[in-house]
Amino acid sequence: MKKATAVLAGAGDRGAQCYAPYAKENPWKLGFIGVAEPDRAKREAFATEYGIAPGRCFNGFDELFEQPRLAEALLLCTGDRLHAAPARRAMEKGYHILLEKPMSTDAAECLELAEAAKGYDKTFILCFVLRYTEFFSSIKAAIDSGAIGAVNAILHLENIPLIDQVHAFTRGVFSETASACPIIIGHCCHDLDIISWYAGAKCARVASFGGLTHFRSENAPPGAPERCLDGCAHSGDCPYYAPNYYLTEDIGWPTSTIGTDMSFEGRLEALRTGPYGRCVYRCGNDVADNQTVIMEFENGVTATFALYPFASANARTMKIMGTKGEIRANMASNEFEIYSHLTGSRQLVKIKPSRYKYGGGDHGIMQYFTDCVLNGARGSLTSMESSLESHLIAFAAEKSRLEGVCVDVRDYVKSLTR
């Protein structure tokens, strides 16, 4: 059986820990033969784990693209602001491309990339992993079967557990729009994609509300120092105290992302000097810590998306109202209920729990991508063209939130191309 070859650009948590392990579990289908990563420790760790020769280890994608095409496929898992440009260069080289979300942090660039991808004859898909879960795909199948009639309205809640909010969006790499992007774009675009997928039409109008309400310097308790380890008097009653997150026996995520030395001393030093040891009220973060988006689609479907970052558990919940019934879904419990208006019956659909992240989405997209590469297919489930709509909704929502206006999405798109 033919084996696909791949290069990883960006050996961070998503690339190295979520997608690449598929090759270790399926070595007869996929193998990594190159890595591009500016962080030396991460680059060397990935090269060692996957047996990559020193001559195929690069200090970033610029060095990689100076070479002839090394493999059939390229996984682009670079930072949020480094997606569109390397993706275009990867197309020039002729790689099959798996691109981490978002397509770009610039709306006009998203349009340009989607347009460029239309004529590309290789696989080019975006990491909207939710579509590849049995949970969300089963709900889509129920909708398409007519089980609830025509979709009328959608309510989608993303409950972010406190540890995710504090680690990634307050202390971490996604905390500042200048270096990353607004949370609705970088983090929530695949949730908006699910809503758009279920609505079955393009979005007409968007309004959004929210902002940074809690993790601000003025909310710091009296006398709180710049860092948790600087003798904070509130360490005993602060739910955000850094050592309680990172100095336990558990060195999996999120602790695994604070550095490469996972010894106690190494982690202690990371908290003393790195971003994850800062007081949550003194991080200079500016991304929203709550946001609500309301949408009207061209077919009349309305939808509400709400981002709640102070949740006790990581759970996406949905309610989809149709003309003949209703679907209520909870990703945390891996089940959804189909209610019939005609009979009053309730059908509970239980999804087998996946051992993979994102409800099996990370594994599912890697399986789909690898099969596309091996079979010479372009891949359509999360192509650039199909993924564009949710990005436009996200950018329009952020414009609405900042300017306090309801945004006509098509007018917004026209403004990008003038």
Q: What is the pLDDT of residues 201-241, one digit of tens each?
A: 999 999 999 999 999 999 999 999 999 999 999 999 999 99
| 137: number of Cβ within 10 Å | 18
In the predicted model, what is the mean pLDDT of residues 251-257? 91
313: pLDDT strictly greater than 80: no
Q: How sure is the predictor about 309, in pLDDT bands with cuts at 50, 70 and 90?
A: confident
For residue 174, give every residue at least 6 positions away whose Cβ sits within 8 Å of its Cβ, in sequence order, or none: 80, 168, 180, 183, 186, 187, 287
393: pLDDT strictly greater than 70: yes
Per-residue CA distances from 49 to 42, 44, 57, 95, 247 (Å): 11, 9, 13, 23, 25
pLDDT given for residue 1 in this prediction:
67
Mean pLDDT value across the chain: 95
| Residue 210: both structure tokens together | 């929210």
In the predicted model, what is the mean pLDDT of residues 162-182? 90
358: pLDDT strictly greater than 90: no
Exposed e or buried b per residue across 326-338, where buried means at least 16 C-beta atoms within 10 angstroms of its C-beta: bbbbbbeebebeb
Among the ranges given (143-152, 205-214, 283-292, 307-316), the one the predictor scored with the smallest mean pLDDT: 307-316
For residue 1, give every residue at least 6 positions away whose Cβ sits within 8 Å of its Cβ, in sequence order, or none: 28, 29
pLDDT given for residue 311 in this prediction:
79
287: pLDDT strictly greater than 70: yes
In the predicted model, what is the mean pLDDT of residues 261-274? 96
pLDDT given for residue 356 in this prediction:
86
Tell which wins on pLDDT, 309 or 195: 195
| Residue 341: both structure tokens together | 């208006």
339: pLDDT strictly greater than 80: yes
Domains of the chain, first to last: 4-127 (3.40.50.720), 131-215+286-355+384-416 (3.30.360.10), 217-277 (no CATH)
* Residue pLDDT, tens place only, 111-124: 999 999 998 999 99
Number of residues that make up the chain = 418
Handedness of CA 88, 27, 376, 101 (dihedral sign): negative
Full 3-state SS string of the chain: CCCEEEEEECCCHHHHHHHCHHHHHCCCCEEEEEEECCCHHHHHHHHHHHCCCHHHEECCHHHHHCCCCCCCEEEECCCCCCCHHHHHHHHHHCCEEEECCCCCCCHHHHHHHHHHHHCCCCCEEECCHHHHCHHHHHHHHHHHCCCCCCEEEEEEEEEEEHHHHHHHHHHCCCCCCCCCCCHHHHCCHHHHHHHHHHHCCCEEEEEEEEECCCCCHHHCCCCCCCECCCCCCCCCCCCCCHHHHHCCCCCCCCHHHCCCCCCHHHHHHHHHHCHHHECCCCCCCCCCCEEEEEEEECCCCEEEEEEEEEECCCEEEEEEEECCEEEEEECCCCEEEEEECCCCCEEEEECCCCCCCHHHHHHHHHHHHHHHHHHCCCCCCCEHHHHHHHHHHHHHHHHHHHHCCCEEHHHHHHHHCC
pLDDT given for residue 260 in this prediction:
85
Strand order in the sheet with 96-99: 57-58, 30-36, 4-9, 73-76, 96-99, 124-126
pLDDT given for residue 2 in this prediction:
85
In the predicted model, what is the mean pLDDT of residues 299-316? 90
Query: Cα-flanking dihedrals φ and ψ of residue 33, to 5°?
Result: -120, 5
**102 in Cβ contact with 128 (< 8 Å):** no
**104 in Cβ contact with 113 (< 8 Å):** yes
In the predicted model, what is the mean pLDDT of residues 70-85? 96
pLDDT given for residue 155 in this prediction:
99
Per-residue CA distances from 40 to 24, 59, 189, 278, 285 (Å): 22, 8, 31, 24, 27
Q: Which residues pair with 32 in a beta bridge?
A: 6
Name the maximum alpha-carbon separation found in the chain: 66
Cα angle 64-67-68, degrees, rounded to a multiple of 5: 125
Radius of gyration of the chain (CA): 22
315: pLDDT strictly greater than 90: no
Look at residues 391, 327, 345, 347 and name the one whose alpha carbon lies nearest to residue 152: 327
Compute, in degrees rounded to 10, the torsion defined by CA atoms 121, 123, 127, 132. Answer: 120
Q: How sure is the predictor about 390, in pLDDT bands with cuts at 50, 70 and 90?
A: very high
